[in-house]
């Protein structure tokens, strides 16, 4: 098993095309329910980091940037702006837990895919998580989904994707589109388990409105942090059991 437990890297990369599905209009979010979910996520983070997981370097890479705007939302939101905001929130959540964080971009600039992977590899990362927002020509398609590299030989990337999926599902009422395989080059270029998170479809008017809500973006960021921690705790336990 790859010994990655003291270093975690969170990276944003290319988005994926979605698959068609039905869509029901969402009900208004209840503030009490949001706070309940956020308290649950915070509890997972705090208990895991305080007792079972020592966090090292974390590299966060907001997708797109500069001349590469990514998906244009139904409300005019640019994907590159949205994912930078979420990435900063993830960074802040990890820093608050004592992690050392490296960002591949702090502002609106273009970063080539090869450079993103190089930053991850140079940092000695143990996990590469790509944060992105999706788009599709059918506006009814909505929900979040996660990807890992199709050629992945170990079970660590799918386990990491599943941990983050579960955390987002617990923290939000967004449609859960599951974990899938993909051939994204940025995932293939890393030397560690790599996961891509699609936080939602900007092409869906309801989801674009939801993603424009700062509270909802905080929910997503908290959930991504919690999923990373959950995977780290699981891997820490596996590593200890494997020791003679």
What are the structural domain ranges in the chain?
A: 34-237
What whole-number percentage of the chain has pLDDT above 70?
70
Q: What is the pLDDT of residue 200?
A: 97
Give the DSSP H or E segment for 197.
strand 194-201
Tell the CATH topology of 34-237: Aminopeptidase (3.40.630)
Mean pLDDT of all residues belonging to the chain: 76
| pLDDT digit string, tens, across residues 178-227 | 999 999 988 888 888 888 999 999 999 999 999 999 999 999 999 998 88
Alpha-helical (H) ranges within the chain are 31-51, 79-96, 113-122, 156-171, 185-188, 205-211, 214-242
- Determine the 3-state secondary structure of 120 from DSSP: helix
- Determine the 3-state secondary structure of 210 from DSSP: helix
Question: 74-110: b or e for each residue (b if 16 or more CB lie within 10 Å)?
Answer: beebbbbbbbbbbbbbbbebbeebebebbbbbeeeee
| pLDDT digit string, tens, across residues 8-19 | 333 333 333 332
Q: If you write DSSP's letter for every residue of 39-93 in order, what string do you get?
A: HHHHHHHHHHHHHT----EEEEEBS-BTTB--PBPTTS-BHHHHHHHHHHHHHHH
């Amino acid at each position: 098993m790859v010994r990655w437990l003291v270093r975690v890297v969170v990276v944003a990369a290319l988005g994926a095309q979605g698959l068609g599905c039905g869509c029901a209009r969402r009900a208004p979010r209840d503030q009490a329910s949001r706070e309940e979910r956020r308290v649950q996520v915070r509890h997972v983070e705090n208990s895991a980091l305080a007792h079972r997981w020592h966090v090292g370097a974390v590299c966060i890479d907001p997708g797109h940037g500069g001349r590469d705007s990514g998906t244009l939302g139904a409300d005019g939101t640019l994907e590159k702006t949205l994912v930078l905001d979420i990435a900063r929130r993830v960074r802040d959540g990890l820093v608050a837990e004592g992690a050392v964080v490296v960002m591949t971009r702090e502002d609106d600039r273009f970063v080539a895919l090869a450079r993103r992977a190089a930053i991850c590899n140079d940092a000695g990362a143990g996990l590469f998580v790509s944060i992105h927002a999706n788009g599709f020509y059918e506006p009814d398609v909505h929900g979040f989904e996660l990807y890992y590299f199709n050629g992945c030989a170990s079970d660590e990337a799918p386990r990491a994707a599943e941990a983050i999926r579960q955390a987002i599902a617990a923290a939000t009422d967004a449609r859960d589109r599951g974990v899938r395989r993909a051939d994204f080059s940025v995932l293939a270029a890393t030397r560690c388990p790599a996961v891509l998170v699609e936080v939602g479809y900007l092409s869906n008017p309801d989801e674009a409105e939801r993603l424009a809500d700062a509270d909802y973006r905080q929910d997503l960021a908290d959930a991504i942090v919690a999923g990373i921690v959950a995977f780290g705790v699981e891997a820490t336990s596996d590593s200890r059991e494997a020791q003679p």
